[in-house]
Amino acid sequence: MPLASSAAMPLCGLPDETPHERLIFASHPDGLRCIIAIHNTKRGPGFGGSRLWKYPNDQAALADALRLSQGMTFKNALAGIPFGGGKAVILAPEGPFDRESLFAQFGDVVQSAGGAYITAEDVGTTTADMEIVAGRTAYVSGLCRSAGFGGDPSPKTAWGVFVAIEKGLRLHANKSLAGSTVAVQGLGSVGMALCQYLADRQVKLVVADINPARVAQAVSSFGAVALHVDRILEAQADVLAPCALGGVLNARTIPHIRSNLIAGAANNQLATPGDGDALHARGVMYLPDFLVNAGGIISVAREYLGTGNGPGVLAEIGLIGERVAELFDRIRNGNSPSREAERWAQEKLEAV
């Protein structure tokens, strides 16, 4: 039963952009504090990863859960998989903690949702964590033990972003990958795998990460040029690929962006919906995160459903390129890509 909520009705002091169906707040005396946000189950159970993160306060954690789960509704609808939008955030405990116990407790909370939410990896969680969750619930994917496909979604996410960049470059700038420059912000599981795919196609890389070891690895492995983290968004590049955290495209950063195309893995790259319009007004083609970064969820969804095989999953992720092309067609109506992609996802929801 959907909660009565609207864009105008604050939820715990936060505006809830679109109504969420269900929120689960759980805490355990041994340390777990988590929120599961189930945004929309019209297409199927809410499916999205679990983020383990140190939030400044509980409201910030709730805000993240609300936005991330809404993004999953759009992402899963556009990806054409039979799932709705959901996401979990686990508030990282202060100081050292027992990881096995934390994820076992989290598995119990996932189980308590009775299948309305299915989890997998996200920032801060690993396949080993999901194996622990799997000891307590079957509503989990992205496991080490899957045969041939599934498992860690990050390389699949990177593959989808790569496909989107290739198609976007062709359609927006009439350029091919070889010889083009891509600026990658964040060299974690997805960013580093993306660099590998791009380097294999003779793309010049400009990179930044707050972790110097990751930067050193990209410089030595791919001949990447390192930039300071404060300068990467304004790099002179054909493509900007945000692959760290959300909110990086905002009123402060947008005026300084020099790439004409943005396509990256990070969820919720736009700080506000209006920032998508601001990019559009500047002639910057922003490929919405929830369209571009669906490779991982496609992979874990197929693993969960037990349908598909390795090449089939890669081919399905490759369809992200076709959706990028369709978005280029759709924005001939003058809408910004972010608004149009949301509209497109809404159409898919209404068609159910």
Catalytic residue among 42, 75, 87, 156: 87
| Binding residues for ligand NAI, total number by CB under 6 A | 26
Let me know if 87 is a catalytic residue. Answer: yes
Q: Which residues contact 165 (CB under 8 A, 6 or more apart)?
A: 177, 182, 198, 239, 241, 261, 263
- Between the CA atoms of 198, 241, 290 and 249, what dihedral angle is there, to the nearest 10 degrees? 180
214 binds ligand NAI (CB under 6 A): yes
In the complex with ligand NAI, which residue's Cβ is closer, 105 or 157?
Answer: 157
Burial 137-175 (b: 16+ CB within 10 A, else e): bebbbbbeebeebbbbbbbbbbbbbbbbbbbbbbbbeeb
Give dist(CA 31, CA 316) in Å, integer: 39
Place of tokens 């070889």: 178
**Residue numbers 296-325 binding ligand NAI by CB under 6 A:** 296
32 binds ligand NAI (CB under 6 A): no
CB of 91 to ligand NAI, least distance (A): 16
**Residue numbers 186-205 binding ligand NAI by CB under 6 A:** 186-191
Instruction: List the one residue out of 297, 289, 313, 349 whose CA is nearest residue 86.
Output: 297
In the complex with ligand NAI, which residue's Cβ is closer, 121 or 342?
Answer: 121
Binding mask 130-169 for ligand NAI (x = CB under 6 A): -----------------------xx--x------------
Structure tokens at 273: 């919906």
CB of 226 to ligand NAI, least distance (A): 11
225 binds ligand NAI (CB under 6 A): no
Q: Which residues in this chain contact ligand NAI in the complex, by CB under 6 A?
A: 122-123, 153-154, 157, 185-191, 208-211, 214, 229, 243-245, 265-267, 293, 296
